[in-house]
Structure 1
């Protein structure tokens, strides 16, 4: 009798050099290549809840971006932190795995990376799923504005943001009120962040992503079939941006889910099914 509950596909961690930076990459499954690109202050672990659902159908490649997770955190004088640099690192990663082309799922900042990769290297990207994408100017909460204050902002971000503040950001802005929080995963994100080089890298990224004009300029150049997914109650990037992005992308479909900033974490099964069907051309 066939096993009704097969073991999930094995996950393998490996280090890959891209743009001169050592990147920690999770690999799982087999089939068409699928690159997962995480958002700001997280790592590939953000996708923990959907990897087992995707790996039986795809060759999942989930890196920690330079400066985040367990990847190398070079000085901003050595690595030009920002969306363009991350996109070029993803192009190097696709080449390093020898997969030719890949579909891409990107969340938030990672969605901006995915859009940039598709605009600059269309030959590398088969299909796109962009989730709660960083793409248009967005309102900043008080917590988000503090690190940008002249003179003292950098010190606040690099020295004063502790575990309690980090947890509060995910509780109050990332997830819906009352959502079951992945406390262990959030704490690991903090542990990855809580070091001088990691904080320096994250601060350089934060400063770089405030100007979204380069992303906007690339949107109409993207011809890759794209699924725009958004959380209806996103408090970081308002859901109105989803409608605009789906209109401006030449080949886009739109799906709004009952979630906040991270539908793939709040509604993993629904998100994974939706993404897989789109990536396989079934919707």
Structure 2
């Protein structure tokens, strides 16, 4: 990447363990690095506007998890889909790119992946930014009741859980909890694109496998919280107070183990960047300038 194009988003692919991992990259690599990890059912596309906002001052890398976006999506009988495995692939990608130190932006599924990386490699993580990136039981809402039931009895509850993979459910994820005066900021492209990825042959089976595996993330929460207490990473929480998937109590809970965490509840939903990219970008600039440089 030469000096004249560092702010332009580059669309790249790296091979990790025989799999193609797609990632977006922008900014001068000599600047502090921020790695952005997306959630369900999205991809690194959710970060396009934020990357453009920050690329003048930071080096940004946003991968698509295996099974999502433009990364490879092998069938469930060809790849052991789990959050442990997605973490392994992500860490190998960061190693391959030579990213020794970086801040982490975590959202939804990006949280258990990013926090596994951080807690196992605390010396590499300069700061945490959580946007509906849950690490506490307080964050769970009634939305999760059917998923918890599915984890205990997959066969009985699979039909109900499959409803979470429909176009109606995807649109709801992108629009719930958003005030009427902000709705015009939400691009329909977001849920249409996410649904197109979900509707690819075999992808719903991938998502069902990860739905089931999510239960094991809760077992990792005590370790994440111990990492917070022991290493005290600088932490910014920018969370939609209207999020009905991971509720605002999940944001407030960070203060228990990170009393210096900067917690902001925004008038937004689960995908807060859809309505608050400029506000979140400003929070990030101020936070990283003070804590990372």
TM range (shorter): 0.7 to 0.9
SS of match in other structure, 1:267: helix
**Does residue 238 of the first structure (1) align with residue 247 of the second (2)?**
yes
Query: Structure 1 pair 242/119, CA: closer, same or farther in 2 (3 Å)?
Result: same
1:75-113 Cα shifts (integer Å, max 9, x gaps)? 344433333322222221211111321111111221232
Query: Structure 1 pair 243/146, CA: closer, same or farther in 2 (3 Å)?
Result: closer
1:108-164 Cα shifts (integer Å, max 9, x gaps)? 221232222110112321211111122233123389559936425435655994323
Residue 248 of structure 1: how far off its partner (Å): 1.7
- State the partner residue of 2:83: 83
**Does residue 129 of the first structure (1) align with residue 129 of the second (2)?**
yes
The two structures, once aligned, show a CA RMSD in angstroms of 2.8
**Does residue 184 of the first structure (1) align with residue 199 of the second (2)?**
no
- State the partner residue of 2:98: 98
- State the partner residue of 2:170: 166
Q: How many residues get paired?
A: 276
Residue 62 of structure 1: how far off its partner (Å): 0.7
Using structure 1 for the length normalisation, give the TM-score: 0.86
Q: What are structure 1's unaligned runs of at least 5 residues?
A: 1-5
Whether contact under 8 Å (2:234, 2:291) holds in the other structure is: no
Q: Tell me the distance in 2 between the aligned counterparts of 1:119 and 1:208.
A: 19
SS of match in other structure, 2:223: helix
Whether contact under 8 Å (2:135, 2:224) holds in the other structure is: no
- State the partner residue of 1:3: none
- State the partner residue of 2:226: 220
**Structure with the bigger percentage of helix:** 2
Q: Tell me the distance in 1 between the aligned counterparts of 2:142 and 2:257.
A: 24
The equivalences for 1:132-211 within 5 A come to 132-137=132-137, 138-141=140-143, 145=147, 148=150, 150-151=154-155, 153-155=157-159, 161-172=165-176, 175-178=177-180, 179-180=183-184, 181-211=186-216
Q: Tell me the distance in 2 between the aligned counterparts of 1:34 and 1:49.
A: 14
- Residue 267 (structure 1) aligned to one of 256, 272, 276: 276
The equivalences for 1:60-79 within 5 A come to 60-79=60-79
Residue 237 of structure 1: how far off its partner (Å): 1.1
SS of match in other structure, 1:99: coil
Query: Structure 1 pair 47/209, CA: closer, same or farther in 2 (3 Å)?
Result: same
**Does residue 116 of the first structure (1) align with residue 108 of the second (2)?**
no
Query: Structure 1 pair 88/7, CA: closer, same or farther in 2 (3 Å)?
Result: closer
